[in-house]
Amino acid sequence: MSVFGLKLEHLSFGYGADPVLKDVSFTVERGNFCALLGPNGAGKTSLFSLLTRLATTSTGRIEIAGIDLGTSPRAALARMGIVFQQMTLDLDLTVRRNLSYYAALRGLSGRDAERRIDAALERLELGEKSSVRARDLNGGHRRRTEIARCLLHDPEILLLDEPTVGLDPASRAAITDHVHRLCADEALTVLWATHLVDEVRAEDDLVILHRGGVLAHDTARRIAGGQTVEKVFLDMTAVTS
């Protein structure tokens, strides 16, 4: 068994002649929370497309919980929980129906699915919202529903692409807390893409992505080196701009 939850080796990717990702390599240890910090246009979403196999590249290799995504995509996808940047709930369905639809896409049904849905709603403190239509939820609750949904099949890795975009500060803090807690309590490996420095905690792993390349990878505390992460991040991305 690999000790790595997530391993990226020499990934390059581009649309036509424009390289979007250039030789990206980093690893996230099992059970760690890794923030992928980068300004808009750094290549975070492209990296997520590769990680979720919505796009592929012939250069480089991705390993998910010890499984090669390129050669065993379905086994790798089965171990991932994904929250995309764009909301993917069906607004006309209730929270519970959204979750049961997702469960069915993963082959889960009947009592097993119901039990998992109850547990996931409980974990994200959404129990009382289960029969509310997604359209009637606020942005924070919609995101929480998506996080609850991506936990249904007991993934080992959570991939979240800017999950707090468009949320108010209180909801943002609540969601960041929730996912940190999940990571700590259940030893989930988390990759959390963001451009918001305040979502990164000192003990988190931090990968700084800029113009498609990795500028730094260590714990946030070490990268900050006595300064704030924000200052270091701004300095790093400004120097190379």
Interacting residues with other proteins (CB under 8 A): 15, 20, 38, 40-46, 48-49, 52-56, 74-75, 77-78, 80, 82, 84-88, 90, 92-93, 100-102, 104-109, 161-162, 193
Nearer to other proteins, 53 or 217 (CB): 53
Number of Cβ within 10 Å of residue 235's Cβ equals 11
Minimum separation from the CB atom of position 99 to other proteins (A):
11
Instruction: Return the structure tokens found at 217.
Output: 């990878």
Nearer to other proteins, 58 or 241 (CB): 58
Residue with token string 């239509």: 133
Minimum separation from the CB atom of position 116 to other proteins (A):
13
- SS3 assignment, position 13: strand
Minimum separation from the CB atom of position 239 to other proteins (A):
21
Minimum separation from the CB atom of position 184 to other proteins (A):
26
Minimum separation from the CB atom of position 158 to other proteins (A):
13
Q: Residues 148, 197, 161, CA angle at the centre, nearest 5°?
A: 35
The 3-state secondary structure of 79-114 reads CEEEECCCCCCCCCCEHHHHHHHHHHHCCCCHHHHH
Nearer to other proteins, 74 or 128 (CB): 74
Nearer to other proteins, 29 or 68 (CB): 68
Contacts (Cβ under 8 Å, ≥6 apart) of 74? none
Nearer to other proteins, 45 or 171 (CB): 45
Instruction: Return the structure tokens found at 51.
Output: 């990680």
